[in-house]
Amino acid sequence: MNSILFVDFDGVFHAMDSRDFEYCGNALVVSDNPDLFQWAPLLWMIIEKHPVDLVVHSSWRHLYSAEELIARFPATMQPRIVGVTEGRERHQSILNYVCMNGVQRFAVLDDSPEAFPDNWPNLILCDSQRGINDAGVLAKIRQFVAECGSR
C-alpha cells in the first residue's frame, strides 16, 4: 500500500480566510472563490512521482460527498485521493482510517494543533494563512515523500 498523506483544506491548500460559507436552500456550502485550493499544485509537484496517496480529513467532509470533495482538486491529483475519514474528532478519524485500511505509513497536513494530541509525530503543522505555501512545511512534506521511494 502507498503511504498516505491526510489533508485538511482550509489553512492548508488556501489561506483560512479564502473560504466563506453561505446557505443554498437549506444546505450550508462553501462560496466560490478563485483562491480556494490555490496551493494544491505545490503538493502535486512533490508527490507526483512518489507512491503517496491522499485522504481527506477536512471538516468539509461534513458538507460534501467524497465525489464533490475530490472534484475540488486539480484533475491530475484526483486519482490519488483514495478516501475520506469519518467521525467528528480529526485525529481519531485518522487513526480509525489507518486501522481499518492497514495503513503502514502516514503524515497529516493540518493547521489546527489543538485537534491533535501534543507532540503528535505524524503532524505537519501549517500556518493558517500560509498553508503549504511555506518553505518549512514544504521541506517536511518533501522529507516524508522522499522516505516513500518512487513510483
For 107-142, the DSSP string reads: EEEES-GGGS-TT-TTEEE-BTTTBT-SHHHHHHHH
pLDDT of residue 70: 92
Q: Over the chain (151 residues), what is each successive 10-residue block's mean pLDDT?
A: 88 74 49 74 95 92 87 92 92 94 95 92 93 96 88 61
pTM comes to 0.87
Q: How many distinct structural domains can be found in the chain?
A: 1
Q: Does residue 87 fall inside a structural domain?
A: yes
pLDDT of residue 105: 94
Q: Does residue 116 fall inside a structural domain?
A: yes
pLDDT of residue 53: 96
User: Rounded distance, CA 123 to CA 110, Å?
Assistant: 7
Rg of the chain on CA atoms, in Å: 15
Q: Does residue 117 fall inside a structural domain?
A: yes
CB 3 within 8 A of CB 144: yes
State the CATH number of the domain containing residue 138. Answer: 3.40.50.1000
Range of the domain at 10: 3-146
Q: Does residue 7 fall inside a structural domain?
A: yes
Question: In the structure grid, which three cell numbers stand for residue 37, read together?
Answer: 485550493
Helix axes 135-146, 40-47, angle to 10 degrees: 30
Q: Does residue 151 fall inside a structural domain?
A: no
